[in-house]
Every structure is written in C-alpha cells, then in structure tokens.
Structure 1
Amino acid sequence: MKDNATQAANIGKFQNSLVTADGQTRASVALSNPETLWFNTGTLCNIECVNCYIASSPTNDALVYIAADEVRAYLDQIEERQWPIREIGFTGGEPFMNPEMIEMTRAALERGYEVLILTNAMQPMMRRTMREGLLELQRDYGGKLTLRISVDHYRPELHDEERGKGSFAKTLIGMEWLRDNGFKMAIAGRTVWGDSDADSRAGYGAFYAEHGFDIDPQDPGQTVLFPEMDESIEVPEITTACWGILDKSPDAMMCASSRMVIKRKGAERPAVLACTLLPYSPEFEMGETLAEAEADVHLNHPHCAKFCVLGGASCSG
C-alpha cells in the first residue's frame, strides 16, 4: 500500500497498471535478458536506518528467513526455464542474520553462478560461524563471490547520521577483515547529501586508498551510488512515448534482467517479485514460480520512474 506522502505527492497517478492518469499507455518492460536472480534473506537487520527502503530493523520480520532448500528449488527452476542467469544476489535485511546464509551461498556458487551479497559488514557477518563459513567459500570459490558493503558516505559522521552512531567504525572493522582475507568487495553509497557524482567518487577513492581497499571508485559496478527513494516527491509517470523522448531502452531497466524471491510472514511458500525495491507492493508480486515471473512488468510505481528510468540505477553487480 502506498503511504500518505506518496499519495499526496502523486495524487491521481499510478492507479491503473495499463494507463497513466492522463490516459496514455503506461510503459512496460519485458524480461528480455534475465541475468540476476535475487533472494531476500529476510527483513530482520541488526540496525535500523533512517531511510531504509524495505524498513528493515531488529523487529521487522514481514519477510521471514528464506531457507537453503527453497533457494535450491529456484536454482532448479533456473535450469528448467533455461534462464541465462549470471549472478545470484542476496539482500535483506542483513543477510548474515539468516542462519542458513553460508549454505545458501554455497548452493549458488557450486552451480557456477557469481554471487553478490549485500551487507553492512557489521556484527552478524563477524560472528565466528559466519567468518569461518566465508573463509571456506573464499577458499573454494573466491573469484565468484563479491560482498557489496553499505557505506552510505565516505565521511563517518554522515554515514552514522543514517545508520547510527559508531556504525561506520564497525563496518570498517568488517571491511578490513574482508580485505585481509582477500575477498572481493564493492560499495553501495547514497547521493542524498547532494554531492556531485565526481566529488562522491573522489571521496570514496580517497577512503579506499587510505585503507588499502582494492575497489575502483570510478567503476559504477564497484562503487554504486544510489539515488534517494523519497516517496514524498512528485515524479512523472512513464509512458510508452518516454522511451524515445528520454532516449532510454526498456531493456536497460532492472526488471528486464532480474527478479527477486521473497518469503512473506505466514506464507507457505516463497513468491517472486518483479523488483527488489517493491517488496510491499502486491501488484508487483508475480506468482510462486519463475515461469509466472516471465510476464511483462508495468511501470506503475514512483520508484519505477525516479529510481530506474530517470535515475538510471540498478541493484545488480
């Protein structure tokens, strides 16, 4: 359900999946090249950020822990559907809160997929069992595993403004452990503070150099800078005409190349979503199978416009 701020800012919009408020045909995106299948490991997190798009927290279990056997079932479906998947992504919540995180990661790696884990690199990742499991995965599949660390800003005080006092220092400890053990790392930052892209990348570059992190600040796959997803801001609806006007291709949208599997609290089985950013919007739930998830996605949400079409962002590596 859209919140009151969204409804106020975009009154009359995003009501009909096929038609915009002014009667034009709404843009849609086909699953033209499925490259990434995401698994949400659960919405529980060790911290509560000020602006978390999925409202993760130490108490939010709206999306419950997904199990390794459920992940394996979808990996089987990838092969059955012959999807050309390159990458399996794990997001949360904090993935390392899920007790089966190492087993799920191994299940994907042993089938030859690249794996991307989104983490804050704090206490859940640094538990002994997780560190031991990660070291085993690094030994067996190191070239295929990347951990993308949430560093909202390279300045500690701005990062902590979002994630809580002392968060930057704790994340830095985790990153140093990953560095010392040869893990591939990437960074997810935010543009909420108004820095230019060039200034942000220069700042992250200095941060990497200071700590000896082998991360390229200029590579958008290694240093990902996300636009803020403020649902109180008015955004335009995307029509079929917008592709030509904006010189954009629907094939470049995130929903052309990815889907996300979640498990809702109380549900018997997981479900597949069109988008990683819209776990609480029922109209973007496509069914329980990858076959059902091959349907087109109608861009009927403010995030579709602001984050993907206009912002040009993608969660994938």
Structure 2
Amino acid sequence: MKDVAAGPVNAGKFQDPNQTAQGTARAHVALTHPETLWFNTGTLCNITCANCYIESSPSNDRLVYITEAEVSDYLDQIEDRDWPVKEIAFTGGEPFMNPEMIAMSRAALERGYSVLILTNAMRPMMRKSVKSGIAELVRDYGDKLTLRISVDHWSQDLHDKERGSGAFARTLEGMNWLKQIGGRMAVAGRTVWGETETASRAGYAALYAEHGFEIDANDPGMTVLFPEMDEAVEVPEITTKCWDILGKSPDTVMCSSSRMVVKRRGADRPAVLACTLLPYEPEFELGNTLAEAERDVSLNHPHCAKFCVLGGASCST
C-alpha cells in the first residue's frame, strides 16, 4: 500500500492480502448478500472540501462521467447474475454534474430499484433542467428516490469550515426546494467535531425542525454520521479471530452487500470495485463485470478496520 507503510504510522501493516504484519490470518469478506450496486458518476465536483476522501474538485477527473448505457449494462448483469439487489446508489464527485444523472436514475427506477443519490444539493442540482428532471422522478416514483444531502455539521460555521463560506446556505436552499416538491431526503454528517453522537443528533433534529424537513435525526439510515477516514491514525489490522473478539459477523461489513462501478480516465470500459471508499487502490479492483466481482475481499486497508469493522459504518441505506 503506497502511503500506508511510508511512515511510522501503520508501518509494516496492510501489506499482505492474506496475513497481517504479525503473521496472523487476515480477515476476508465474501459477497453473501449483494443488496446495493453503487455507481461513481465521476469525481468532478462544484466545490473542493477540506477533507474529501475521494479528492473531488472542479478539476479532478480521475474518474470520468459514467453513462446511462453503461449503467444499463450493469443493471442487465444484475439480472443475469440473479443478484438480490434492492438499491442502486450514485455518488461522486457531485452526481448532478454528470449530464446523464437523471436518465441513469430513471433507468434504475424503471426496473423497480430504489435509487439513492448522494449530493451537496448546491448549484449543479439547482439548474433549471436538473430541477425539472428531479421533480419528474419524484412525481413518477415518490419515495423510491432518496437524495442524501451532505451536511457535514448541523451548524453553519462548522459546515462552512469544511465546504467553504456560504455552502451551508446554498445547501439549505436546495433542501428547501426538495421539501417543496415532496422529495425524500436523508443527510450525511461527520463525527470529526468532537461532540457526542447524542449531541450531534440533537443538533440535526433542531435543524430539521427549524426548516420542516421530514428527516429522522435518530435513524442511522436517514441521518448517517460517518467516522473519519484518516490514514495518519494508527489502526489495528483485522484478523479472522477478530470476528469473535468483536462479536461481529463478516456479513455486517459493507463489502458483503455492495460493489461500486467506476470509469477511470482513459479506460475503455468501467471497472467494479470492492468498496466505495477506495476508488484509487488497484488491489480493490475486481474486474470489469459483476461475475468477476463476486470474489472475496481482503480487509487489507486502514479504512476496512477503522470505518467499516470498528466504526460500523455503511454507505448504503
């Protein structure tokens, strides 16, 4: 792992996919119940956040725009493989910068899937043509479509500290518009601020009440509080014995139930990754097809330990 072993933090760890630095058997996760297929719509974003795990920005096109035709091909593969997928999810970058975002969403909704779109609800979403498309999807499919809005903190000051001055107000403008058209919303926040989960959820509850947003602050699927993914923090490696020690099952880890499709700049076709959080790590690329992506995933990265196993987080609903 290029950066993980470069310094004293986590030195020697996360090198071998089959064993830890101490020579014990590394944990692996099988794809036992594929419920969510993610698509990265492209890494371009309208803003540059202070700590974006995927380094999205107005200039980062390492992952290029995926197309409706490519999404539809993977929807066909889901049916061919008989995966019990319930949800098609889109992340970025900012998904609404992709000119085919509405068409890709409709393609999934037409087949009966629930659709989740991660967005900052700012200017790309608020363009006239995009608003028209979203309103039509809400009209046609109702609660089958969820937009999860990035609200890093319930307060303007801390949210804008991460996303730039004025970001909080522009996001609230988008959320208020979604409320007006009856769009189903969820929120993604962060736990970097040093407050308790109870205090954080109380803050979000007050924000929702102030604006009349029908979002449950205490439902972890509707107000998702993500742990930080800092590779400069020392984390333990996950061994096969950890499942019993921690009282957890591999079936609870995100890669047991999901995969993500990306299209790299210069690539002829998209690729399927083990994890939404590791888009640039070649060892987590499983192939070009869902059939190839059915193999086990080695928990060979700090994010596997800190975010998924120990943090208990999941990007899906």
Equivalent residue for 2:308?
308
Pairing of 1:55-74 with structure 2 (within 5 A): 55-74=55-74
Counterparts of 2:22 and 2:2, CA distance in 1: 20
Residue deviations 1:22-62 (CA, integer Å, cap 9, x gap):
00000000000000000000000000001000000000000
**Partner-residue secondary structure (3-state), 2:117:** strand
Whether the 8 Å CA contact 2:259–2:273 is kept in 1: the answer is yes
Counterparts of 1:228 and 1:5, CA distance in 2: 19
**Partner-residue secondary structure (3-state), 1:174:** helix
Partner AA of 1:75 in structure 2: L
1:110/1:242 CA distance change after superposition, 3 Å: same
Pairing of 1:217-296 with structure 2 (within 5 A): 217-296=217-296
Whether the 8 Å CA contact 1:72–1:107 is kept in 2: the answer is yes
Counterparts of 2:10 and 2:298, CA distance in 1: 17
Q: After the TM superposition, which parts of structure 1 deviate over 4 Å for at least 4 consecutive aligned residues?
A: 4-7
Whether the 8 Å CA contact 2:44–2:57 is kept in 1: the answer is yes
Pairing of 1:99-118 with structure 2 (within 5 A): 99-118=99-118
Counterparts of 1:6 and 1:94, CA distance in 2: 31
Equivalent residue for 1:170?
170
| Structure 1 vs Structure 2 CA RMSD | 0.9
Whether the 8 Å CA contact 2:47–2:57 is kept in 1: the answer is yes
Pairing of 1:132-147 with structure 2 (within 5 A): 132-147=132-147
- Aligned-pair CA distance for 1:4: 6.4
Whether the 8 Å CA contact 2:5–2:12 is kept in 1: the answer is no
Counterparts of 1:199 and 1:87, CA distance in 2: 30
Is the aligned partner of 1:52 residue 2:60?
no
Equivalent residue for 1:183?
183
Counterparts of 2:287 and 2:6, CA distance in 1: 26
Tell me the TM-score normalized by structure 2. Answer: 0.99
Equivalent residue for 2:90?
90
**Partner-residue secondary structure (3-state), 1:192:** coil
Equivalent residue for 2:28?
28
Tell me the TM-score normalized by structure 1. Answer: 0.99
**Partner-residue secondary structure (3-state), 2:89:** strand
- Aligned-pair CA distance for 1:3: 2.7
Counterparts of 2:17 and 2:224, CA distance in 1: 30
| Structure 2 segments unaligned to the other structure (5+ residues) | none
Whether the 8 Å CA contact 2:102–2:133 is kept in 1: the answer is yes
- Aligned-pair CA distance for 1:2: 3.4
Equivalent residue for 2:127?
127
Partner AA of 1:107 in structure 2: A
Equivalent residue for 2:215?
215
Partner AA of 1:11 in structure 2: A
- Aligned-pair CA distance for 1:219: 0.3
Whether the 8 Å CA contact 2:235–2:305 is kept in 1: the answer is yes
**Partner-residue secondary structure (3-state), 1:158:** helix
Counterparts of 1:53 and 1:222, CA distance in 2: 21
Total equivalences in the alignment: 317
Partner AA of 2:217 in structure 1: P
- Aligned-pair CA distance for 1:192: 0.2
Identity of matched residues, % = 72
- Aligned-pair CA distance for 1:142: 1.2
**Partner-residue secondary structure (3-state), 2:174:** helix
| Structure 1 segments unaligned to the other structure (5+ residues) | none
- Aligned-pair CA distance for 1:5: 8.1
1:122/1:6 CA distance change after superposition, 3 Å: farther
Residue deviations 1:53-110 (CA, integer Å, cap 9, x gap):
0000000000000000000000000000000000000000000000000000000000
